[in-house]
Amino acid sequence: MKQKKMLIAHRGLSATYPENTLPAFEQALKLNIDAIEFDVRMTRDGVPVLSHDERIDRCGSGKTGLIRDFTFEELRKLDFGAWKSPEFAGTRIPTLFELLDLVDSRRPDLFLCVELKEDDCRCARLVIEELKRRIGSTTVPSSAFAPKCFILSTAWTRACSSMDFAMKRTLSCRKSGSI
């Protein structure tokens, strides 16, 4: 049996745009892709934001430190685009909700590859509940054979243990130690 290959925009269109930012995902959604991959971290005040790196040093200008040590308001003041090119200066760190709103408005059928970057059960639960709410309200059919998203997380066991079996199949949650 021949398996279909998926074209996945890793951190959005990150070769050309600042990774894990709305401009990177806006451009990726214009292409004939099957999925997007993105990384979620939690701020000190509990807002899920998109960032691959644990620290803001590489992609966020003006400060150094861990994402989880900043509030969302503090992070939102930083530039997360200029590191890639001056044309992206002023790009802000997006929230999970902003990305999901963008996907819902342009490509609601798109497959999501969600990587929860830290072993943070609070973040995992928040992400799972938000995806559950959105998948449950969409007209796009979900089944065990055609899931809407894939969640990669070391916190999966604790975060997903209370989910019902059907929701686990729909979200395709999987425990992994290779984050």
Residues serving a catalytic function are 10, 52
* Cα distances (Å, whole numbers) of residue 139 to 136, 143, 149, 170: 8, 13, 15, 14
Question: Is the backbone of residue 90 left (phi > 0), alpha (psi -120 to 50) or beta?
Answer: left
What are the distances in angstroms from CA 30 to CA 26, 63, 102, 104, 106?
A: 7, 33, 12, 14, 9
CA dihedral 39, 45, 46, 48 (to 10 degrees): -30
Q: Write down the H helix ranges in 29-175.
A: 72-76, 96-106, 121-137, 156-160, 165-171
